Amino acid sequence: MHIHNLSEENSILNSFISEIRDAHIQTDRMRFRRNIERIGEVLCYEMSKTLDYATKTVKTPLGESATELYQEEIVLCSILRAGVPLHNGLLNYFDDAENAFISAYRHHKHDPETFEIIVEYLACPSLEGKTLILADPMLATGQSMVATFEALKPFGTPKKIHLVSIIGAQDGVDFVDDNFGKDTHLWIAAIDQTLSDKGYIVPGLGDAGDLAFGKKLQH
Ligand code: URA
């Protein structure tokens, strides 16, 4: 897998990441969502440099201009619910993309430390021959990303796969590396070293879904 860890280079992205991690700034839910969206836009911009392009000529009021435009049919797939602001950020740039949504949550059967991923809701167009961008803001164990990809298989075989995350744990990055093909790209804004006993990224930022949308009752 090609891993593009954008934190290896200093940029404005550092400010957005710092704000979503900051426990004080996190209390502003709208700012949290908007920063996730801005990070999605930056990741999208970097990813766009690797797409296939072809020349298209447009008429200006004064003449003609030949421009290289991307040629890939993109499907954005996000994991509910934390993926929604990240999805918006990607869609802000890939404005003609098709969209897929899937719900995946951790079901703790016996104790808080062990869980299985339950996929319930799935809405997806055909993926055959298209470029699939699979977005999950927190790549903790990597199990949601892999379970989602398994659930998408009946919808066709994508030509290219890009995974997009905001913060990952090294274990999660290793897990997706083991479970996706070597041509898959991972675009990620930061990689942290550890996971807590409950499967949270440390230092991470906490629960991205709760921070974006408010706390939920556990089931
Ligand atoms: N999901 C989150 O929202 N945060 C984590 O740290 C891990 C998974």
Model confidence pLDDT, tens digit, residues 168-186: 999 999 999 999 999 999 9
CATH of region 2-213, choose from 3.30.70.1400, 3.90.1170.20, 3.40.50.300, 3.40.50.2020: 3.40.50.2020
Ligand 1 mean position to 45 CA, how many Å? 24
Mean pLDDT computed over 86-111: 91
Q: How far is the CA of 110 from the centre of ligand 1 (A)?
A: 20
Q: In this structure, what DSSP letter does residue 124 have?
A: -
Pull the structure tokens for residue 161: 């796969």
Per the prediction, the chain carries an average pLDDT of: 95
Contacts of 136 (CB under 8 A, 6+ apart): 78, 79, 82, 83, 86, 144, 145, 148, 163, 164, 165
Cα(41)–Cα(13) distance, integer angstroms: 10
- Ligand 1 lined by 83 (C-beta under 6 Å): no
pTM: 0.94
Mean pLDDT across the stretch 190-196?
Answer: 96
Instruction: Tell whether ligand 1 has an atom less than 6 A from the beta carbon of residue 190.
Output: no
